[in-house]
Structure 1
Amino acid sequence: MGLRTFFGTLGARAPQVETVLDRVVGRPGERLTATVTVQGGGAAVRVEGLAMELVTRVEGLEEGGTELAWRQPGVVSAFSLPTFTLSPGETVVREVDCVLPWEMPLTHVGGRRLRGARAALRTTMKIDAAIDRGDFDEIAVHALPAQDAFLQALTDLGFRLGDAEVKHGRLRGGTAQTLPYRQEIEAHFPASYNRRHDDRLEIVFLARADSLDLTTGIYGPYTFDHADLDVEAATAWLVAHLHANWRR
């Protein structure tokens, strides 16, 4: 997966930058490695900023309509390389480690893509006050085993997974949320449940290294240790929880 951008404001012999990831699949908490290659153009320039940004598709306004925006994604985390001078024709190569935050919005659960979910690594380069946003290197962020256990349990109970939406703002209830975004994964109730005023259950995970918080609609957060969760344990908890709050 390559990212190649040119600064049109600097002419045809402008510097170019290419970012290549060692892999494009990962889970929250895992580390990806990117090789960033900057090729000098026809004149010496001062690279004032070379930044890598993990971005996600965030619900918002795009092109006059309400949809999940991708042209202006939300920045989950960012890191930059030191300023340097690039001589004509010079090649500068840097290795960059990119850690996926524990709360990184997911794009895949159970090995399948979540509808509406996208994530990418974006390179931004600044030269002489000209900023080039570049293109995206899309990545697949797969669920942690504990997250997969809950979503598989819901599927086994007859729920159908729907859209995954990343929204601005914090969850209520005093969770230890660190990102300015939260991801809501829709699960459509089977007909046998009392669905009250909505046929969807919104699932929100806030993961950490050893545990996660789970919010189901207006209920939660509930905290679980990763080590205590498999599909069987998640199913048992969900059956009791759903029967208590959405009685058949």
Structure 2
Amino acid sequence: MVFKRMLGAFGVGGPAVDTVLANPSTRPGLMLGGQVNLTGGSHDVEIDHITVGLVTRVEMEGAEQEYDALVEFHRVQVAGGLRLSEGQQMSLPFQVAVPWETPVTDLYGQRLHGMTMGLRTEVAIRGAVDKGDLDPVYVHPLPVQERILEGFGRLGFQFKGADLERGHISGLRQSLPFYQEIEYYAAPQYAHAVNEVELTFVANEYGVDVVLEFDKRGGLFSGGHDSFGRYHVAHTDADQVDWAAQVDAWVRQALDGYQSMHAGHGYGQPAYGAPGYGHAAYGHHKEEHHERHGGPGMGAVAAGVVGGAALGFAGGMLADEVFDSFGDDEGGDEEE
């Protein structure tokens, strides 16, 4: 934060902390660096440990209703076993490796509606723990993710919102306890068959798995049902593919496959074509808790981006004030 915060858990005269990020904008797979600045209070203290953790809000499935919970999904120890003298100033540098599966929060310089992300500093002194304030973090898409999002926009899909669902996707290796859903209203050319499309990315150091879920219009086949498509693309495919054509092929492939299966003809896996043309998998892909039904660098994150309005994001973004939605909720934390 831009001000020093007194550590309330340690009473009047306790130390103060000020965590400063070198650059709050990042991408999955990169390092998020900064420093924790400590100022001693009116007496000496022994610090057991100082950690920083990435936290976000995740939609959980309760016994009777859904609710949001603040989840810590990655943490790093900054220091341990320190003595902070009265009035002493100390700066402790840190580096956090941003997990490859970290969800996208920002695009074209704006926060995706429904997404929050922050770095929380935790200081433990004599067994008492103060979790401190949250510093906002802005996670921009990997190049191949950005190209795919641009492809959806160019086809006329309109951004609806984004959220994080607790659970895992069947058949994919996944290290985080949640996955992101980026929701679109169907583009006009698919509106006769589809109401909405949900897009999920699961990235690793080699590439990105792309999972599409389609909320189909009732009456087209056998009533309103979901259908699915799953594809894999390499990071190196980012600038090798016409992504509008690719996304169109994925959408039509998944819908045609669903129709063929329900017509009794089955549906074979399509052949690989140009780079980025992954194979499709159909069927339910999400397994959720509670029994619910060396990559590219930052480059020019803020330079040369195409206007969000032209790519389906008009009216679907929020300013930085959305970070306030973290509130004071400390209940529901879940470590990686």
- Fold match, TM over 0.5? yes
Q: Paired residue for 1:22?
A: 22
Q: Paired residue for 1:244?
A: 253
Q: Paired residue for 2:32?
A: 32
- Indicate whether 1:88 and 2:97 are aligned: no
Distance 2:73 2:181 in 1: 16
Query: What do the CA deviations read for 1:68-119 (whole angstroms, capped 9, x no partner)?
Result: x4xx521121011222122212222111012211111111134432111111
Query: What do the CA deviations read for 1:94-149 (whole angstroms, capped 9, x no partner)?
Result: 11012211111111134432111111111011112222111111011111110011
| Partner secondary structure for residue 23 of structure 1 | coil
Does the aligned pair in 2 maintain the 1:110–1:148 contact within 8 Å?
no
Q: Paired residue for 1:203?
A: 199
Q: Paired residue for 1:175?
A: 172
Moved more, 83-92 or 204-213: 83-92
Q: Paired residue for 1:132?
A: 130
Distance 1:203 1:244 in 2: 15
| Distance apart, 1:9 and its partner CA | 4.6
Does the aligned pair in 1 maintain the 2:7–2:132 contact within 8 Å?
no
Query: What do the CA deviations read for 1:181-214 (whole angstroms, capped 9, x no partner)?
Result: 1111101102432565x62211000112231100
Q: Paired residue for 2:276?
A: none
| Partner secondary structure for residue 184 of structure 1 | strand
Q: Paired residue for 1:143?
A: 141
Moved more, 102-111 or 113-122: 102-111
Distance 2:103 2:241 in 1: 24
Identity in percent: 31
CA-based RMSD of the aligned residues comes to 2.4
Query: What do the CA deviations read for 1:11-53 (whole angstroms, capped 9, x no partner)?
Result: 3211111110111111111112111111111112111121100
Distance 1:159 1:194 in 2: 10
| Partner secondary structure for residue 189 of structure 2 | coil
Moved over 6 A (4+): none
Distance 2:233 2:66 in 1: 35
Report which of the two structures shows the higher radius of gyration computed on alpha carbons: 2
Distance 1:128 1:82 in 2: 12
Distance 1:25 1:84 in 2: 30
| Partner secondary structure for residue 251 of structure 2 | helix
| Partner secondary structure for residue 150 of structure 2 | helix
| Partner secondary structure for residue 247 of structure 2 | helix
Residue type of the partner of 2:74? Answer: S
Distance 1:14 1:31 in 2: 31
Q: 1:214 aligns with which of 204, 210, 215?
A: 210
Aligned length, in residue pairs: 241
**TM-score, structure 2 normalization:** 0.66
For structure 1, the residue ranges without an aligned partner over 5 or more in a row are none
Distance 1:51 1:195 in 2: 51
Please list, as runs of the form range in 1=range in 2, the aligned pairs for 1:12-91 lying within 5 A after superposition.
12-60=12-60, 69=68, 72-80=69-77, 81-91=79-89
Q: 1:228 aligns with which of 233, 237, 249?
A: 237
Q: Paired residue for 1:154?
A: 152
Does the aligned pair in 1 maintain the 2:201–2:208 contact within 8 Å?
yes
Residue type of the partner of 2:17? Answer: V
Bigger RCO of structures 1 and 2 (CA < 8 A, at least 6 apart): 2
